[in-house]
């Protein structure tokens, strides 16, 4: 089991380090300045450490705007240039619909249904998808 370490204080956004993966959990509305700072700090952390993946958990986000969509795309692009993959997990249907309606394709971003699936995807599991109606059992 990987030990989680709290990251630096990046505004009100909790960030955990799980081995070589950063787990970013977004809750509610994210102020523009906080999003920009988070984006910068994630890039700096990837560049100065052995971070190979970033999971952005959107399960606590009910709506997005074009700014947050752009920030997600930029985090993924910068992470990719720094040899780290980005996976967005827990996206609600309303968030996905809004991103599509805004015309944001988010290149470089992979998605997973849950944070657990996202971590598995980064660990090299072949697919985070499972047949409809099946759930992973909690330990």
Q: What is the pLDDT of residues 88-103, one digit of tens each?
A: 999 999 999 999 998 9
The DSSP code for 107 is: T
Phi-psi region of 40 (alpha: psi -120 to 50; beta: other; left: phi over 0): alpha
Would you state the pLDDT for residue 28? 82
Pick the CATH number of 17-113 from 3.40.50.300, 3.30.2130.10, 3.30.750.24, 2.40.280.10: 3.30.750.24
User: What is the C-alpha to C-alpha distance for residues 95 and 76, in angstroms, rounded to an integer?
Assistant: 17
Average pLDDT over residues 115-121: 95
User: What is the C-alpha to C-alpha distance for residues 8 and 4, in angstroms, rounded to an integer?
Assistant: 13
User: What is the C-alpha to C-alpha distance for residues 81 and 90, in angstroms, rounded to an integer?
Assistant: 24
Q: What is the pLDDT of residues 44-85, one digit of tens each?
A: 999 998 899 999 999 999 888 889 888 998 999 999 999 999
Percent of the chain with pLDDT over 90: 47
């Amino acid at each position: 089991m990987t030990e989680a370490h709290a990251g630096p204080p990046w505004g009100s956004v909790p960030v955990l380090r799980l081995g070589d993966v950063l787990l970013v959990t977004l809750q509610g509305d994210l102020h523009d300045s906080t999003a920009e700072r988070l984006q910068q700090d994630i890039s700096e952390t990837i560049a100065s450490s052995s971070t190979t993946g970033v999971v952005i958990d959107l399960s606590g986000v009910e709506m997005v705007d074009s700014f947050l969509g752009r920030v997600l795309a930029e985090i993924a692009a910068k992470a990719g240039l720094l040899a780290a993959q980005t996976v967005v997990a827990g996206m609600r249907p309303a968030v996905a619909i809004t991103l599509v309606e805004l015309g944001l394709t988010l290149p470089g971003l992979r998605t997973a249904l849950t944070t657990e699936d996202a971590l598995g995807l980064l660990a090299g599991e072949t697919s985070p998808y499972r047949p409809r109606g099946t759930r992973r059992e909690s330990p």
